[in-house]
Chains A and B, each alone.
Chain A
Amino acid sequence: MASASTIAIVGASLTGQSAAATLREEGFDGRVVLVGAEPQLPYDRPPLSKNYLRGGMPFEKTLLRPPEFYRERQIETRLGTTVVRVDVEKRALQLDGGDRLEFDNVLIATGGRNRRFPIPGLDLPGVYDLRTVADADRIRDAIVRGGRAVVVGMGFIGAEVAASMRQCGLEVTAIEPFKTPLYRALGEDIGLVVEGLHRDHGVTLILGDAVAAFEGKGRVERVVTRDGRRIECALAVFGLGIEPVTELVAGTGVSVDNGIVVDDHCRTNVPGVFAAGDVANHYHPVCGRQMRVEHWQNGIKQGAAAARSMLGRGQPYDEVHWFWSDQYDANIQYAGFHAAWDAVVVRGSLAERKFLAFYMAEGRVESVVAVNQGRDLRRTLPIIKARVAIDPARLADPNVDLRTLAPSERPA
């Protein structure tokens, strides 16, 4: 690639820094510019709902790379800068200060922003959501002030925040419209295990109900639910999912549908424009369909894959998706491709919270959830990738080595 060329990366977080680092590892000697809306260098978000939120980790430890990493590799950073528009025809980024930045190739790794719903009182002081370190700092300050906390939405972020606040000694009430926590991701059987985990740690769970309003005079004082419950509180945190940040390509001809649509090489329909990470609705060759995920591992690996693709050295991105969630003493992991399932096969003990659960469709393993069984979960990745029927009795038998169940690996 000509050394005069410029690669712009929009989004200075996990995916963007992974792409920038990979460009240099691959020997790209042109200009690399990492543009980020937040003022900080790329940092790791998983601790924000856990160790960082509990006050157990200084910000410096969340940095994905030390500051000198960018200097030494001549990766330019433009932080605190929002890209207003990608000018596809003129190959330039339009920045919020009025500047323009010309590029030859651009990677869009803008991630997502938290969904907000028109719930009365959502903007009251004391009602928080969590995406950035600034959000985490605000919640941390409220935790230190103490009082009862209400968590709205028991997806992964809500469940982790509830756990962290309990670990900090707060009284916590959590409200979740589904029958169990994590119901949409994990279903009822495993959702019940997570419910037990939180109840055992003292969370008051309100299931099958939803928030109607946040109320208070100048600051949140209570949460009112659809079924008429009134829960007094000093703070409330809502976790209602994210939406991909795509407005910078609106009207440019770049295809957008639940994120920026890319193929298995992170390419959009417009030459020279790539996307990766939470924002990328990517074609996955293993399951043969488009998907968008919000996982740490996808952020780092797809960022690297996009970098190689921009250099013309791309390989089909076919990673088995994987993520973790730590809640109290439970290390929960998920691998695979979320899809409808027709059976759940359990290996281990739900009661002891030490198990694998296989989500099956037509005899195949679509995805696997592990609680405190990370080693075995890793051994299921080839099984998921193989997409062939596997005997459920052997999956369930703890005496069967999971490494023997996948068809032999493809030749290198």
Chain B
Amino acid sequence: MARFVTVAKADSIQPGQMIKVEIDNFPIAVANVEGTFHAFDDTCTHEDCSLADGELVRTAVVCPCHFAEFDVRNGAVLVAPATVPLKVYPVRVQGNDLQVEF
């Protein structure tokens, strides 16, 4: 059953920043794009690198290993070498709790 899991304090992630969290030992990245949070698989669909270690450029996350890019809003591949889209997760903020549906 998917449920919302509190992963961080909302004010701990500044605009333009990403963090890596784990839900049930599964790595999830959360990005703050100008005040809106987006959650997605932290592991790049190309070769298993952590996207939270990469760069957030507006609404795109750039993998640090091979510079594949994904749209953090819907997981779409923007730049190769990745070809498989990224899974994204609903996010909500309750008070100061940042919650990801997992």
Contact B66 A324 (CB under 8 A): yes
- Tell me which of B65, B81, B83 contacts A296 (CB under 8 A): B81
Cβ-based interface call for B98 (8 A): no
How many A residues face the partner with a CB closer than 8 A?
16
B67 A322 Cβ-Cβ under 8 A: yes
With both beta carbons as reference points, the residue of chain B lying nearest to A323 in the complex is identified as B66
Residues of B near A64 (CB, < 8 A) are 80, 83
Instruction: Digitize B48-63: 1 where CB-to-A-CB distance is under 8 Å, 0 elsewhere.
Output: 0100011100000011
Cross-interface CB contact of A378 among B47, B67, B80, B81, cutoff 8 Å:
B67
A41 to chain B, nearest CB (A): 14
CA distance A375 to B47 in the complex (A): 16
State the majority secondary structure of interface residues on B: loop
> Within the complex, what minimum Cβ distance (angstroms) separates B63 from chain A?
8
A375 touches B54 (CB 8 A): yes
Q: B49 contacts which chain A residues (CB < 8 A)? A: 331, 374
User: Does A314 belong to the interface (CB within 8 Å)?
Assistant: no
B85 surroundings in chain A (CB, below 8 A): none
Tell me if A44 counts as interface (CB < 8 A to partner B). Answer: yes
Beta-carbon contacts under 8 Å, A249-290 to B: none
CB atoms of B80 and A326 under 8 A apart: no
Q: Does A46 contact B (CB under 8 A)?
A: yes
- A26 to B55 alpha-carbon distance, docked (Å): 29
Task: Tell me, yes or no, whether B27 is within 8 Å of chain A by CB.
Answer: no
Residues of A near B62 (CB, < 8 A) are 375, 378
**B81–A326 CB distance below 8 A:** no
Q: From known contacts A375-B64, A378-B67, infer whether A44 and B81 are also in contact, taking CB-CB under 8 Å.
A: yes
Judge if A300 is at the interface, Cβ distance under 8 Å.
yes
Residues of B within 8 A of A378 (CB): 55, 62, 64, 67
Task: Determine whether A132 belongs to the interface, using a CB cutoff of 8 Å to chain B.
Answer: no
A379–B80 alpha-carbon span in the complex (Å): 19
Are the CB atoms of B47 and A374 closer together than 8 Å? Answer: no
A315 within 8 A of B: no
Tell which of B53, B64, B65 touches A326, judged by Cβ atoms closer than 8 Å. Answer: B65
With both beta carbons as reference points, the residue of chain B lying nearest to A300 in the complex is identified as: B80
Is A349 in the interface zone, CB < 8 Å from B?
Answer: no
The verdict on A51 contacting chain B, using a C-beta distance below 8 Å, is yes
Contact B81 A374 (CB under 8 A): no
Instruction: Write out the residue numbers on chain A whose beta carbons fall within 8 Å of the beta carbon of B64.
Output: 331, 373-375, 378
What is the size category of the interface that chain B forms with chain A? 10 to 19
A44 CA to B66 CA in the complex, in Å? 13
CA distance A375 to B83 in the complex (A): 20
Report the bound CA distance from A168 to B80 in whole Å: 28
Could you tell me which residues of chain B, from 8 to 58, have a CB within 8 Å of some CB in chain A?
47, 49, 53-55
B81 surroundings in chain A (CB, below 8 A): 44, 46, 296
**A322: B residues at CB distance < 8 A:** 67
Q: A121–B80 Cα gap in the complex (Å)?
A: 40
Per-residue CB contact flags for chain B residues 82-100 toward chain A (1 = under 8 Å, else 0) read 0100000000000000000
B45 vs chain A, min Cβ distance (A)? 11
Distance to closest chain A CB from B57 (angstroms): 9
- Which among A297, A300, A375 has the highest number of chain B CB atoms within 10 Å? A375
Q: Give CA–CA (A127, B88) in the complex, Å.
A: 47
A326 touches B67 (CB 8 A): no
Query: Residue of A at shortest CB range from B53?
Result: A375
Question: How long is the Cα–Cα vector from A193 to B53 in the complex, in angstroms?
Answer: 23
Give the chain B neighbours of A51 by CB distance below 8 A: 47
| A53 CB to nearest B CB, Å | 14
Instruction: Give A374 to B51 CA distance when docked, in angstroms.
Output: 11
Give Cα A297–Cα B6 distance, bound, in whole angstroms: 39
Q: In the assembly, what is the distance between CA of A311 and CA of B52, in Å?
A: 39
Bound complex: CA of A296 vs CA of B54, how far in Å?
Answer: 20
User: Please, how many angstroms separate the alpha-carbon atoms of A136 and B25 in the complex?
Assistant: 35
List 22 A–B pairs whose Cβ atoms lie within 8 Å, in order of A's numbering: A44-B81, A46-B81, A296-B81, A300-B80, A322-B67, A324-B65, A326-B47, A326-B65, A331-B49, A331-B64, A331-B65, A374-B63, A374-B65, A374-B66, A374-B67, A375-B62, A375-B64, A378-B55, A378-B62, A378-B64, A378-B67, A379-B55
Given contacts A326-B65, A378-B55, 19 further A-B contacts (CB under 8 A): A64-B83, A296-B81, A297-B67, A322-B67, A324-B65, A326-B47, A331-B65, A373-B64, A374-B49, A374-B53, A374-B54, A374-B66, A374-B67, A375-B53, A375-B54, A375-B62, A375-B64, A378-B62, A378-B67
Interface residues of A (CB under 8 A from B): 44, 46, 51, 64, 296-297, 300, 322, 324, 326, 331, 373-375, 378-379
A-binding residues in B (CB < 8 A): 47, 49, 53-55, 62-67, 80-81, 83
Q: What are the 7 A-B residue pairs with the smallest beta carbon separation, nearest first?
A: A374-B64, A375-B64, A331-B65, A375-B55, A374-B65, A375-B54, A324-B66
